[in-house]
Amino acid sequence: MYFGYQDDYEVFVKGPQPRIISPAEETRYVGLTNQGATCYMNSLLQTLYHIPYFRKAVYKMPTNELTKSFGWNKHDSFMQSDVQEFNRGTVVEGTIQDLFEGHQMNYIDCINVDYKSTRKESFYDLQLDVKGCEDVYASFDKYVEVERLEGDNKYQADQQHGLQDAKKGVLFIDFPPVLQLQLKRYDYDFVQDTLVKINDRYEFPLQLDLDREDGKYLSPDADRSVRNLYTLHSVLVHSGVGNGGHYYAFIRPTLSEQWFKFNDGRVSKEDTRWAVEEQYGGEARHPNAYMLVYIRESDKDEIMCNVDEMDIAKHLRVRYKKEQKEREAEELKKKEEAEAARIKHLSEQFRRDIDFDLVDRNGDQVVHFRSLEKPKEDDFTLELSMALTYDDVMERIRLTSHDCVFLRPIPQAISYRGVGHLSEMFTRYNRSSKILYYEVLDIPLPELQCLRSLKVEFCHATKDDTVVYRIRLPQESTVGDVINDLKTKVELSHPDAELRLLEIFMHRIHEIFPLSEENEKINDPYRGDLTLRAEEILEEEKNLGPQDRLLPVSHFTKEPYSARRNFGEPYFLVIHEGETLDAVKLRIQKKLQVPDEEFAQWKFGIWSLIDRFEYLQDSDIVSSHLYKKAGGPWAQYLGLEHSSNSSPEAT
């Protein structure tokens, strides 16, 4: 394994050019920071916030910090909760009832005698079945479905009538102005003792008519003068499995045709198809709607009212203006410091240019400067005094010394205040060189050294374009921070795509970095045989069976004297239990688009940790040649032996 020593590295991203968003496209909506596992809360808060009537009431709450107002400590904010459970704990007296409270009538009606039992109940949200229902209307049909109480299940009426055949059911007395529908996306698996996610396709309309079929959902006591026609306001989505995952929301803040996706701190514009139809779910599609919020048309004007500054409590207005002034003062200070630094840099550069002509020639040295992008060509020369310090000469330029042994830049650039005088830059391993490599920086070197720059190849799931991005993150950042930053810059195949970060060494997948890995521990990919690569995790890789394996694949060719040389782009392939090599080959040929005649020349086998190769026959069960337990991507991989110029994927 190669270990790099440079403090910072760049990120190269393979993918299309990022879409530049013009100022006119920028939204005035902002996201909410995830405080550990509070995405469930963030999605619900965004939904409630964009109900203006509710927002007015919240502004009158005398609280300084939201999570503290719930009595939560720091530990509680990292405990993921259910949206419905959380919602029922956010009561703003009176407003919750006005907006969200509806009433239903539970009844039992005897068939053969004149006896009926009724009970009125209030609700703030409705739990609707997903399993076995194709859409919301089917769920409401099931909700009010009449149950027959007969045989051994007869209803015990009063003392006069005793056991009786009866009909049992629920009808609605009234619906609330804001209707919250909780979709029952989970079943309990008693065998596995765990919650199982129901990903069945389930449709929901932009307009929901609960007066359909002559008010079939309404009780005889319902006020039929109220028109129960609702418009979809927001769709809360859960992505993941039964015991974990991520929450976000699609919202129409003004009920216009424009939807927005609120995903923790990120807010993006979305069209109706992504916000609605793509959240219906379906086979093996984990992101799907978990909660729907509808607003009644007849109450829309009152609920979607204007909220102006005077609706905000005075203590909040005072606090906001104070924070705004502090931000403006801080921004002004940064601008002034940047301008002062620029003027200082220009004046010092001017002074140095004059000094070059006036210095004592006895202490001078002609230095050859080369760009790191063209390390074998002299770019320019300067006559510098060896008494000058690095910090005297450079502010927006970073220098790297020359390796006199390998005749290339050393791995580590010269750090700010890292050397005393320029003479120290030219001596390495008791050898002296008068070559320096330079980089023009866009931010001051002291500031740059507080950051970690990363270089990653991003592989789009369906495109081959390559784009280079430079990403800078704080030194304490993690791989998860890199992934999140990349998601804001690259084009994904779909909005909920998940990424992973790999280390590729000598054209082989060497490591999959966990999201918690600190960036400072990742090797610096300054050498040509070591790269970092980010790629989308395919759906089939997320649903592996207990005996399935995710196996790295690498191209190689035999060199003279039996030497092996890897080449091309390695990738992962799912190996299913009991799958023969012949079946695996069909999938590989389809993925790489290799012609039949050419593919027939390829050979396949398993490389092991000790660099031993075992050829496979078409009838061999691939999984039977693998270790029982996966030992990381470097332990075993599938080798594709063929000519290095025989495949477009192998270049």
Catalytic residue positions, numbered: 39, 246
> What are the residues whose beta carbons fall under 8 Å from the beta carbon of 52, sequence distance 6 or more?
303, 304, 305, 306, 307
> What are the residues whose beta carbons fall under 8 Å from the beta carbon of 6, sequence distance 6 or more?
411, 412, 413, 524, 526
Distances (CA, A) of 615 to 368, 601, 605, 607, 618: 53, 14, 4, 9, 10
Q: Which two tokens stand for residue 296?
A: 């009644």
Tell me the CB-side half-sphere exposure of residue 630, using CA atoms within 13 A. 16
Instruction: Specify burial of residue 11 (Cβ count, 10 A radius: 0-12, 13-18, 19+).
Output: buried
The pair phi, psi for residue 97, each rounded to 5°, is -65, -45
Cα-based torsion angle of the residue sequence 370, 372, 374, 375 in order, rounded to the nearest 10 degrees: 70
Q: Where are the alpha helices (DSSP H) in 307-452?
A: 314-358, 390-393, 445-448
Specify the length of the chain in residues.
651
Q: How far apart are the first and last CA of the chain?
A: 24
Q: Which sign, positive or negative, has the C-alpha torsion 51, 56, 59, 62?
A: negative
Instruction: Report which of 529, 528, 526 is spatially closest to residue 9, judged by C-alpha positions.
Output: 526
The CA distance from 85 to 458, in Å, is: 39
Q: Which sign, positive or negative, has the C-alpha torsion 339, 396, 9, 2?
A: negative
The helix or strand, by DSSP H or E, that contains position 212, with its residue range, turns out to be helix 212-215
Instruction: Specify burial of residue 638 (Cβ count, 10 A radius: 0-12, 13-18, 19+).
Output: buried
Contact 237, 288 (CB under 8 A): yes
DSSP 3-state assignment of 76?
helix
Instruction: Report which of 197, 201, 202 is spatially closest to residue 185, judged by C-alpha positions.
Output: 197
Tell me the CB-side half-sphere exposure of residue 230, using CA atoms within 13 A. 24
Contact 378, 368 (CB under 8 A): yes
The CA distance from 126 to 180, in Å, is: 6
Cα-based torsion angle of the residue sequence 582, 583, 589, 592 in order, rounded to the nearest 10 degrees: -130
The CA distance from 310 to 316, in Å, is: 11
